[in-house]
C-alpha cells in the first residue's frame, strides 16, 4: 500500500525539467530507444520524430511485424477482414522513409544496464547480441498470454497476439483430415478476445465451445448484464461452459486422428478439441524491467507515474506492460487496451522532446471497452457492481431498458443499461450497456462525463443530438440522469433484483403493474397484477405492509410507486423491472450445469418465495 | 443589452422559496394550469402528477392532439413511419387514467389575468369562452411557422407542425388530376425540417425542388461542411435553388389544372409547383404572454430565468415559446428543439412541486441538433465559424476527415468534422459533423465535453469504447484533441481554405505531399507535388519563402510541415487538406447559379492563383 501511495503522489508532481531525463551532449545527437514496435511504442516513435528531426530513434521489436492492427486479428480468421495485408499498417521500410526510424524487427531486448544507459538486444534469427546506448528508454513490450497449466506443451493450443500467431492459426485451420477440415474448436476464456475468437471461428464454420472458469461471460460486466449477450451467443450456436476449466487432456497426440482428442473439464465432463484457443488473459512483459531494478506494481506491471515515467527518470513505460492509476480507486491497475497505449506513447514523446505545453499528465484510467458478437454489442466503463461491493463501496445501482431511438421510427432496438453511482458524491463509478444499436455511443458519452467529473444527475441535462432515427427527445442518457436524480431525491425508492427474494420472504407484497399485453413475456412468481391505470381505483385492495412494485422496465412502476406512495403506501420499485429480473434468472441458468436451466430456475425462485 | 444582462444575472439566483410561486390555501387544492400539451407542457404535467397526487392539473391544447411525435411527422409523408397512430403517443383519455390530468384539446388560452390568476380559454369548436384560475401557470404554447409573404393565402402552401397539418398534407398528396397524383413539390427553407420534408417527398415519388434564401443549405453548419450534404441531396434527385426566394406566383388557381401553376423566384426564374411546403422557420407563440405584460426577449420569445420562471414568479415558460441563455454567449436565444422542451418541462414541475434536491437551474443551451437524408447525417453543436467571426470572436478552426471506425475493418465511412475552439481558454465553442456513420456519437461526445467544460485538448485523452467495428484506437474525437493541442502548442501552424488564395497571391509556394495514388481525386491548381516520403531528400528543391503544404486530410501534411519546419523552412499546413478545400469549392459552386458549376469553379480558382 505504501508503494501504491508513493506512486500516486509521484504521479501528481509535474515534471519541472522536461529535458531532465537526458544528459544531453551538445556534440552528439540524443538517442531514444523504444522497446516494442506496436501501439504504444510506435506512437512514441513517430510523434518523437515529428517533434525532433535530429534525434536518433531506435525501435526494437521482438516479433516480425510492427504497427499491425492487433484488434483486427480475430476478424481475419473468418475472412471478415479478407486481406492479411490490411492488418499490416506500417512496415519498417515505410517507417524509415516517412519518419527516419531505425526499426529492428525479430530483435529482443534482453537486458537493461541503467548505470551505463545501454540495452542488450538479441537478434532472434542469428542469436547475436548487441549493445545499444540510450539517453531515454521507452518500454512498450506488451504482454504475453497466460497459459493453461493443464495444457502446457499441447500442440493444439493457439494464442492470438500478433500476426505470426495469426499465420499459425490460419495454417492449422487449413489442415484437413480425410479431406475434411478440423472441426471442433475450444476457446478458453470468456473475455473480449475469447468472444471475438468464438464469433470468427463460428463464422468460419467450426463447431465452437467456449470454456470460462468464472460463472459468467464477460467479467467486465455484471452477471445480469452479461446474460443476454451470452444467450445471444448460445442462440447463434456457441456452446458455453461457464464455471468450468480445463484440468487435463486425453489422448493428446496418441491417436493419428486428432479428432479423437478430448479435453477434461473440472466438472468431470469432456470436450472434443481439434483446435484450442487460449484467451484467459495476459501477463505484463515486465521481466527485463524487474531485472533492471525498476519498481514493479502490485499487478506485476511496470510502475509509472502520470507522465509514464518509471522509477528511473530516464525510462518510461506504456501499454500492456505498465500499470496505470485507476480512475475510480486511484490505485495502480493493468489496462491492456490499444487506445490508452497509443495515447500514452504519444504523451511520452511529448515529455521526452520537452515540447512546450505538452507533456501533461495523463488522466487516470477508466478502462472503457466494447465487444461485438453478430450484431450485438456489450460495453463497459469504470467499475462494475461486483467489484464495488467486494471492496465495500457504497453504490447506487440503476438499470434501464430504453430504445436506441424513438420507438415510432422503424428499427429501434432495446438497450440494457446499468449505471453505478457514488451515493455520497453523485459521481459516476461505472456503466454497462448491451444492445444492437447505440451501445458505443451511450458508453462514450458516459465515459466523457466520467472523465469530466459530471455527476450522474447532470446526465439528465445533456443536450444530445436528436432526430427520431438517432435517439429520443429524452435520450437513454437523459433518462439515466432522471432515474438517478429521482433516486438521489428519494422520489424512487428501489429494490435490486438480488434483494427481491429476501423482501418477499419478509412479507412484502409483489405487485405487477404492467399493461395486460406485456404479461405474455413472463411472470415473476407470486406477483399480483393490477395495471397502473387501475391503481387509483383499486389501491384499497393492497395490503398495508410493504409493497414491491414492478413493471417491464421500471418506468411504469415508478409512476405506480409515486402514486401509491402519495396515497400513503410503503412501496419500493424493482429496479430495471421484469426485464432485469429475467436477465438475472438467465444468468443463474447459464451458470448452472443443469441441462434444463429454465425449469430449475423457476423452481428455485418459487422455493424462495413460498 | 441591459435586459439581457438582467436576465443573465437573474438566472444565476437560486429560488430560495420553492413554494413561493403558489399562495397555497390549506383548504383547497393547488391548481397548475399548463398551456400546450405536447413536449414541454406534457412533460411538466406528468412529472407534476408523479410528484403531487392531490394537485389539480389542467392542460389546454389548441390542437386536436396532445403528446404527438412532432419530430416523426415528416416520416409519415413517405410511409417510413407507416402508421399515423404510431405518432400519437398519448391520448387525453389515457392521460386522465394514468396521470389524472384534465386535458382540454381544441381549446385555446386567449388571455392571462395575472392579478386575478386566471386564464381565459376559448373552445375552438363551440367558440365558448371560460375562465380557469391557477396558482401556477406553465406556458408551453410552442411556435408558429413563419409564412412567405409572397405566398400569403396561396392554397397550395402547407406547413408541418402538428398532426392536423400532416392530415392536410396527406389529403393533398392523395389528390389526382387526370388519374395522376400531383407531382411538383417545392420546399421552402433549407433547415432541418425542409431537408426532412424534401427527403420524404422524394421517397414518395414526387419531383422536389428545395428553395433556400441563403447561399448554403443547413445554416447551422458552415458552408464547406454543408456542401457535401447538399451534393448528396442533389445526387439523390433533389433540385436545389440556393440564394433564391419566392417573390410571387403566376396563375394560382387561374387554371383548372394546378400543374400549370408556377412560382416566381427572386432570380427571375420560375418553378412548377403543385404543392408548396413552407419550412422557413418559426416564431414563438408569445402573444398572450406579451399582452399580459410578461417580459419578452430580444428574439420575441418569453424571457425566463434558468429556472424557466418568467418575469411573473407564478408563471413559467418552456419550449419553443421561451428564450434560453445560450451556452457560448450567455445571451437569450430561441431553441425550437424537442429535447430541451421536454427536460425544461420536467424541471418546472420540480420547481412547482418544491421537490427537495430538484428544481435546480437548467444549464445554458448548446443547441445540439442532427438531420439525416438517405443515410447521410449532418449534426452540429454550439456556434459555427460564420457566427463567431460575425461577432468578432477569436476562434481556432480545425477540420478533419477521419474514418468512422478502423479502416481495416469493412464498412468504415469517412466523417468530416469541424471543431471551433476559443484560443484563449481552449474551451470548445462549437462542432459540426457530416457522414454516414458515427456522426451522432461524435457530436454527442463533444456536446457532453462542452457541457462539462472540458477543453478541446482534453478530447485527446478521452477513453472511448474501441473495437474495430466501432471506432479506432485513436478515435476521431481523440484526433481532434491531438490536432488542437498541436495547434495550441504551435506545433501545427495552419491556414484555412479561405485564406489560401491570398497566401498564394502573396507568393507562398503550394506543396502537395499526398501519396501519388491520391492525386486522381483532384488537384489544387498551382500546387507542386512531392510525396512526404521524398521530402528529406528533395527539400532543397523548395524555395526559401513561405510554403503552404497540403495532403488529403491534413495528417500527412502535418508530418511534412513538422519535417520542413525542423529543417528550417517557413511552412504552414492547409487545415483539412484537399478534402476541405474541395468541399469549399463545392459550396461555392452550389451557391453559384452557373449551370456547369465545376468548370466555373476551377477557372475561378486558377484565375486567383495566376
pLDDT in tens, B303-315: 999 999 999 999 9
How does DSSP assign A431-445, residue by residue? EEEEESSSHHHHHHH
**A476 with A431: CB under 8 angstroms?**
no
CA–CA separation, A545 and A563 (whole Å)? 16
Residue B285 has pLDDT above 70, yes or no: yes
Q: What is the mean pLDDT of chain B?
A: 90
What is the least distance, in Å, from the CA of A49 to any CA of chain B? Answer: 8
Residue B145: all three cell numbers together: 411557422
Q: Is A28 on the interface with B (CB under 8 A)?
A: no
Question: What per-residue confidence (pLDDT) applies to A149?
Answer: 87
Question: What per-residue confidence (pLDDT) applies to B19?
Answer: 44
Question: What per-residue confidence (pLDDT) applies to A349?
Answer: 96
Residue B594 has pLDDT above 70, yes or no: no
Residues β-bridged to residue B325: B332
CA–CA separation, B286 and B296 (whole Å)? 8
Residues of A in contact with B344 (CB under 8 A): none
**B514 with B531: CB under 8 angstroms?**
yes
Q: Give me the total of CB pairs closer than 8 Å, taking one residue from chain A and one from chain B.
A: 267
> Domains plus CATH for chain A?
2-144+283-353 (3.50.50.60), 149-280 (3.50.50.60), 375-488 (3.50.50.60), 494-609 (3.40.250.10)
Q: Collapsing DSSP states into helix, strand and coil, what is residue A8? A: helix
Cα angle A43-A46-A51, degrees, rounded to a multiple of 5: 115
Residues of B in contact with A455 (CB under 8 A): none
**Residue B16's pLDDT band (cuts 50, 70, 90):** very low
Q: Hey, are the CB atoms on B449 and A453 less than 8 Å from each other?
A: no
Question: What per-residue confidence (pLDDT) applies to B396?
Answer: 98
> Which among A349, A310, A74 is positioned nearest to A203, based on CA atoms?
A74
Residues of B in contact with A475 (CB under 8 A): 339
Its sign, for the CA torsion B245, B249, B253, B255, is negative
Q: Hey, are the CB atoms on A339 and B473 less than 8 Å from each other?
A: yes
Write the CB contacts of B562 (distance below 8 Å, at least 6 apart in sequence): A50, A51, A53, B491, B492
Question: What per-residue confidence (pLDDT) applies to B567?
Answer: 94
Residue B602 has pLDDT above 70, yes or no: no
> Which among B246, B191, B187, B242 is positioned nearest to B214, based on CA atoms?
B242
Residue B15 has pLDDT above 80, yes or no: no
Q: Is A463 on the interface with B (CB under 8 A)?
A: yes
Question: What per-residue confidence (pLDDT) applies to A578?
Answer: 98
Nearest to B444 among A51, A441, A473 (CB): A441
Nearest to A368 among B449, B452, B463 (CB): B463
What percent of chain B has a predicted confidence (pLDDT) above 70? 90
| Reported pTM | 0.92
Read off the pLDDT of each residue in B122-143 and give the average, rounded to a whole number.
97
Burial A113-139 (b: 16+ CB within 10 A, else e): ebeebbbebbeeeeeeeeebebbbbbb
Residue A478: all three cell numbers together: 437523459
Best of A42, A344, A448 to substitute, by most chain B Cβ atoms within 10 angstroms, is A448
Tell me the C-alpha to C-alpha distance, in Å, between residue B263 and each of A44, B159, B195, B196, B244. Answer: 62, 17, 20, 22, 12
Placement of cell 521524398 in the chain: B534
Residue B1 has pLDDT above 60, yes or no: no
Beta pairing class for A176-177 and A180-181: antiparallel
> What single DSSP character describes residue A364?
P
> What single DSSP character describes residue B475?
-
> Which among A273, A8, A322 is positioned nearest to A140, based on CA atoms?
A322
Comparing alpha-carbon positions, the chain A residue that sits nearest to B367 is: A463
Read off the pLDDT of each residue in B557-573 and give the average, rounded to a whole number.
96
Residue B598: all three cell numbers together: 465545376
Read off the pLDDT of each residue in B549-553 and give the average, rounded to a whole number.
98
Question: What per-residue confidence (pLDDT) applies to A15?
Answer: 35
Find the helix or strand (DSSP H, E) in which B559 lies.
Answer: helix B555-566
Q: Is A47 on the interface with B (CB under 8 A)?
A: no
Block means of pLDDT (10 residues each) for chain A, length 610 residues? 34 38 63 96 96 96 94 96 94 95 97 98 97 98 91 90 96 92 95 97 97 96 98 97 91 51 90 94 96 98 96 97 95 93 95 74 95 98 98 97 96 97 98 98 98 97 97 96 94 95 97 97 97 95 96 96 95 98 97 52 32
CA–CA separation, A190 and A187 (whole Å)? 8
Cα angle A463-A466-A470, degrees, rounded to a multiple of 5: 130
CA–CA separation, B272 and B249 (whole Å)? 10
CA–CA separation, B487 and B455 (whole Å)? 13
Question: What per-residue confidence (pLDDT) applies to A22?
Answer: 57
Question: What per-residue confidence (pLDDT) applies to A249?
Answer: 85
Residues of B in contact with A408 (CB under 8 A): 69, 72, 81, 86-87, 89
Question: What per-residue confidence (pLDDT) applies to A593?
Answer: 61
Write the CB contacts of A517 (distance below 8 Å, at least 6 apart in sequence): none
Residues 80-99, chain B: which have Cβ within 8 Å of A? 80-81, 86-87, 89, 94, 97-99
Amino acid at each position: 500500500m505504501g508503494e501504491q501511495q508513493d506512486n500516486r503522489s509521484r504521479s501528481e508532481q509535474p515534471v519541472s525539467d522536461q529535458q531532465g531525463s537526458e544528459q544531453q551532449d551538445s556534440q552528439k545527437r540524443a538517442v531514444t530507444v523504444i522497446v516494442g514496435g506496436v501501439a504504444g511504442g510506435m506512437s512514441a516513435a513517430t510523434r518523437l520524430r515529428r517533434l525532433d528531426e535530429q534525434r536518433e530513434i531506435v525501435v526494437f521489436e521482438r516479433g516480425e511485424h510492427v504497427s499491425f492492427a492487433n484488434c483486427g486479428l480475430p476478424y481475419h480468421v473468418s475472412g471478415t477482414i479478407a486481406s492479411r495485408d490490411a492488418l499490416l499498417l506500417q512496415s519498417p521500410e515505410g517507417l524509415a522513409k516517412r519518419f527516419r526510424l531505425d526499426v529492428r524487427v525479430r530483435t529482443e531486448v534482453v537486458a537493461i544496464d541503467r548505470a551505463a544507459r545501454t540495452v542488450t538486444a538479441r537478434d532472434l534469427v542469428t542469436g547475436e547480441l548487441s549493445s545499444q546506448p540510450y539517453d531515454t528508454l521507452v518500454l512498450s513490450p506488451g504482454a504475453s498470454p497466460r497459459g493453461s497449466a493443464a495444457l502446457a506443451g499441447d500442440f493444439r493450443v493457439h494464442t492470438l497476439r500478433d500476426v505470426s500467431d495469426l499465420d499459425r492459426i490460419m495454417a492449422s485451420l487449413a489442415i484437413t483430415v480425410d479431406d475434411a477440415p478440423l472441426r471442433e474448436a475450444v476457446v478458453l476464456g470468456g473475455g473480449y478476445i475469447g468472444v471475438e475468437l468464438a464469433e470468427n471461428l463460428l463464422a468460419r464454420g467450426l463447431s465452437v465451445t467456449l470454456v470460462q472458469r468464472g460463472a459468467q461471460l464477460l467479467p467486465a460486466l455484471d452477471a445480469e448484464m452479461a446474460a443476454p449477450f451470452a444467450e445471444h451467443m448460445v442462440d447463434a450456436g456457441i456452446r458455453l461452459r461457464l464455471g468450468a476449466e480445463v484440468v487435463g487432456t486425453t489422448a493428446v497426440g496418441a491417436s493419428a486422428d486428432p479428432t479423437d482428442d478430448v479435453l477434461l473439464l473440472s466438472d468431470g465432463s469432456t470436450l472434443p478439441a481439434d483446435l484450442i484457443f487460449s484467451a484467459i488473459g495476459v501477463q505484463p512483459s515486465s521481466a527485463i524491467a524487474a531485472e533492471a531494478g525498476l519498481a514493479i506494481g502490485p499487478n506485476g506491471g511496470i510502475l509509472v507515474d502520470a507522465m509514464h515515467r518509471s522509477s528511473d527518470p530516464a525510462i518510461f513505460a506504456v501499454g500492456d506492460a505498465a500499470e496505470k492509476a485507476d480512475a475510480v480507486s486511484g490505485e495502480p491497475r493493468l489496462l491492456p487496451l490499444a487506445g490508452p497505449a497509443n495515447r500514452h506513447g504519444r504523451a511520452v514523446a511529448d515529455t521526452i522532446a520537452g515540447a512546450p505545453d505538452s507533456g501533461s499528465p495523463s488522466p487516470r484510467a477508466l478502462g472503457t471497452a466494447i465487444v461485438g458478437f453478430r450484431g450485438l454489442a456489450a460495453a463497459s466503463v469504470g467499475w462494475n457492481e461486483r467489484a464495488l461491493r467486494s471492496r465495500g463501496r457504497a453504490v447506487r445501482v440503476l438499470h434501464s431498458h430504453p430504445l436506441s431511438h424513438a420507438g415510432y421510427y422503424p428499427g429501434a432496438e432495446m438497450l440494457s443499461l446499468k449505471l453505478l453511482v457514488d451515493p455520497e458524491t453523485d459521481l459516476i463509478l461505472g456503466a454497462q450497456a448491451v444492445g444492437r444499436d447505440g451501445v458505443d455511443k451511450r458508453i462514450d458519452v458516459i465515459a466523457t462525463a466520467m472523465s469530466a467529473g459530471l455527476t450522474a444527475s447532470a446526465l439528465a441535462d445533456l443536450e444530445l443530438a436528436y432526430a427520431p432515427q438517432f435517439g429520443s427527445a429524452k435520450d437513454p442518457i437523459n433518462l439515466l440522469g432522471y432515474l438517478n436524480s429521482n433516486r438521489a431525491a428519494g422520489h424512487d425508492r428501489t429494490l435490486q433484483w438480488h434483494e427481491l427474494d429476501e423482501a418477499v420472504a419478509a412479507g412484502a407484497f409483489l405487485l405487477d403493474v404492467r399493461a395486460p399485453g406485456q404479461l405474455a413475456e413472463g411472470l415473476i412468481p407470486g406477483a399480483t397484477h393490477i395495471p397502473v391505470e387501475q391503481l387509483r381505483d383499486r389501491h384499497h385492495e393492497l395490503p398495508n405492509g410493504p409493497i414491491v412494485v414492478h413493471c417491464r422496465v421500471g418506468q411504469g412502476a415508478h409512476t405506480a410507486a409515486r402514486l401509491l406512495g402519495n396515497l400513503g403506501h410503503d412501496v419500493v420499485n424493482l429496479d430495471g423491472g421484469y426485464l432485469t429480473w429475467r436477465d438475472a434468472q438467465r444468468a443463474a441458468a447459464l451458470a448452472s450445469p443443469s441441462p434444463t436451466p429454465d425449469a430449475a430456475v423457476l423452481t428455485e425462485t418459487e422455493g424462495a418465495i413460498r
